Amino acid sequence: MPRHRTSVSCTLALAIFLFTVTMVTGALSPVSILSPAGSISGRVTVDGKPASSILVTAIAGQSVNRLDAAARAVSDVAGKYQISGLPPGDYQVWTLTPI
- Residues 88-99: tens digit of each pLDDT: 888 889 887 765
Interatomic CA distance for residues 31 and 34, integer angstroms: 5
Task: State whether residue 1 is helix, strand or coil.
Answer: coil
Give the tens place of pLDDT for each residue, 34-91.
565 789 999 999 999 999 999 999 888 877 776 678 888 999 999 999 999 888 888 8
pLDDT, tens only, 17-42? 666 666 655 555 555 555 657 899 99
β-bridge partners, 73: 56
| Same-domain check for residues 59 and 91 | yes
Tell me, yes or no, whether 47 and 74 share the same domain: yes
Task: Give pTM, 2 decimals.
Answer: 0.59
**Three-state secondary structure call for residue 95:** strand
Q: Are residues 63 and 87 in the same domain?
A: yes
Same domain, 50 and 66: yes
Q: Which domain holds residue 73?
A: 36-96
Instruction: Say how many domains are in the chain.
Output: 2
Residues 45 and 11 in one domain: no
82 and 55 within one domain: yes
Note whether 14 and 56 are same-domain residues: no
Is there a single domain that holds both residue 27 and residue 44? no
What is the largest distance, in Å, between two alpha-carbon atoms of the chain? 89
